[in-house]
Structure 1
């Protein structure tokens, strides 16, 4: 599960056991199928290892989602369509209407699709039954919509929500830079930050001393939208929406969890990576929930019972 370098975390609003039960038996029904000749997009669940659509671990149910997108640049379509438009206009002796040109472009697009190359994305996601979370290894809104919609097809009545804390993360992160330190000891300031500009743009500070006077001065009138934090075994960025980006876990930390007596196969390493990633993300999010004043609203008692 080393492929999880960024993550969006959702609180489950239904019991995690019910979600796990449905996922265990329902993913294959919505399995990924490659794009057909005239299909631009295809997505669905794909096996984690061999023919297994689910990998079980300690308080963990891991699954995988695959997206195929045909790449066909508009400039290519325009180039081929323009020739046909010119030929049609010469043949008819008059300019084509916009509707007629659009029809030609659409016909060209369909003809070229079988020759277009495919871009594939694979997204790991898991149910954290201990915390009652769905963790999706992406921060892209379109990808998140695909994954959540697919889960709703598998799990009838599925419901989740993003993390919302009492204190605004941007205000807290800005204060950390302004005061040149965090107000807790689990993490410390890294070397990168994204700071909003007066005009709504962003100032990206990469590999900088965040305690530099110029950066501190910037934070007097602006807000930090993304900040790098570090710990003994990993580094990551936290965003204003409580999303994790650029997660990097030390290889030595992962290797320390490997039992040398076990057979060193692909599935074993996958389980180890899954366990380490789950523990790391759990530590990050639970620490930051406290740092940001706790969650806005607590779950109902029956939802905590997991």
Structure 2
């Protein structure tokens, strides 16, 4: 298993909380399916069937947040409420007023809720207590924040911080494009996005297209900066870096796929092997990327002090 997206946060390194301590903290917020009158439910589930809430492989911790959400479109509520309003008008001799219609819609929602269709989704969280990384496999910061809110609620005084680097990713990516060369250990791939800094927000995108250095430099000279850049690390992992320091479209390359033990027939062994491989590689990749972006800002402030 490999994360597709990386929303990266910082913990103290090493983080002293043990897997057993974390298990106890998460247990009160275990996932419970939505009741008949509830619209959504969220809680921790075991990453492996019949396992613990905290899955451990080589001191790396894996959590899984489950969500169940009922779909009850407003259009359906309005349609049923409109039909009931016609019946009510015939009974009372006049059209329902605004207050009465509001109450009618609330009544319809209560009646339909137990029959609403549910969708289930889940989000993985990887904690590296040795190096102090906490990574959420989420495509957006907002989705990651939902996960972190529940984790902060479970773990008292969780010392979690947003990852801050010395160089702005936007500035660094723009410089790499202008130089037509990635930082040490990284290569620049074919996908990128440049956006104007002015009010126009004019945007140029290259999608699976060879990037012409001269063309890119003209866009940069015109005031555009890089907001997304596809890169490859050490010929092992490809990804897209964004201006917010989120990492998307994470893909292990063939060299890693070949090194994975595909001969094992045990699903749990394959899962643990993939997780160990992923965490080992991504820990190094994140560290190299932070270094390429000038190091951590908090660490630099601490050194200066």
Q: Which moved more, 1:208-217 or 1:65-74?
A: 208-217
Separation in 2, partners of 1:13, 1:92: 67
- 1:68 deviates by 1.0
In the alignment, what sits opposite 2:62? 62
Q: Secondary structure at the match of 1:297?
A: helix
Separation in 2, partners of 1:168, 1:299: 15
Separation in 1, partners of 2:291, 2:229: 17
| Equivalences for residues 83-232 of structure 1 within 5 A | 83-182=83-182, 184-197=183-196, 198=198, 199-200=200-201, 202-211=203-212, 213-220=214-221, 221-231=223-233, 232=235
Q: 1:126 to 1:113 in 2, by over 3 A?
A: same
Separation in 2, partners of 1:73, 1:276: 42
Count residues with an aligned counterpart: 297
Q: Which moved more, 1:131-140 or 1:247-256?
A: 247-256
Q: Which moved more, 1:215-224 or 1:69-78?
A: 215-224
In the alignment, what sits opposite 2:75? 75
CA contact (8 A) 1:6 1:139 kept: yes
In the alignment, what sits opposite 2:251? 248
Q: 1:161 to 1:39 in 2, by over 3 A?
A: same
- 1:255 deviates by 4.3
Task: Say yes or no: does 1:12 pair with 2:11.
Answer: yes
Q: Normalising by structure 2, what TM-score?
A: 0.88
Task: Say yes or no: does 1:47 pair with 2:73.
Answer: no
Q: Normalising by structure 1, what TM-score?
A: 0.87
The gaps in structure 2 that reach 5 residues or longer are none
Q: 1:163 to 1:113 in 2, by over 3 A?
A: same
Q: 1:265 to 1:292 in 2, by over 3 A?
A: same
In the alignment, what sits opposite 1:294? 295
- 1:43 deviates by 0.9
Q: Which moved more, 1:60-69 or 1:205-214?
A: 205-214
